[in-house]
Amino acid sequence: MRNKGYIKTDAVANAVLKVPREDFVPPDVRDLSYSETPLPIPGANATISCIHTYCIYYEAMELGPGDSILEVGLGSGYGAALARELVGPSGRVVSIELDPETYRFGDGNLKRAGYDDVITVLGDGSEGHEELAPYDKISITAACPEEPTAVMEQLRRPGTIVYPVGGDGYQYLMKMDVDEDGGRRSETLTTVVYVPLRGRYGKK
């Protein structure tokens, strides 16, 4: 992945090497843990994304020691584990999941893998998680129908959010930096394929 540009830093490379992805997939697809393809996990239309997509997110937002991050879409828990490695003991990872079955799967995976200090929340991620806001970084791992303004309001200034936006088929992965005065600068990173964001501000 490094030769393709998905991994740019030693920090992300080390996180990928340290987190055992096979501990975050169902037993029946364990043999495919390191294949570059989404894999099904418990819950409605739920998957664990390809490894390189997590790298794209965390490299783009420059996630690092001391950062507070909100992940919208706990899923398997794999992304939260990678984030925990990147933010270190002085950082904080909060991950929210709407689907109860997926939540139980992801939360259980994290605890069994030793990531007890990741804060997991069962709730509507399209609304963010205001209780622990603001966050230095936010990642949304489901396709937003439009700019996720409600979640953006929970960003610290300055802060960075990465999210996919678009309809069925494929979406554009966007990075938005918000400066100290609230000014916004957007950048399209790549095209991706994610399941639709559900909840109050999700797909109607």
Q: Which residues are catalytic?
A: 49
Burial tier of 183 (Cβ tally within 10 Å: 0-12, 13-18, 19+): exposed
Task: Name residues whose C-beta falls within 8 Å of residue 4's C-beta, 6 or more positions apart in sequence.
Answer: 52
Going by their DSSP bridges, the two strands 39-40 and 135-140 should be labelled as: unpaired
**H/E segment holding residue 188:** strand 184-192
Can you state the angle between helices 10-18 and 78-87, rounded to 10 degrees? 130
Give the contacts of 143 (CB within 8 A, at least 6 positions apart).
164, 165, 166, 167, 171, 194, 195, 196, 197, 203
Cα separation, 33 vs 185, in Å, equals 36
Give me 37's structure tokens. Answer: 């393809």
84, amino acid identity:
R
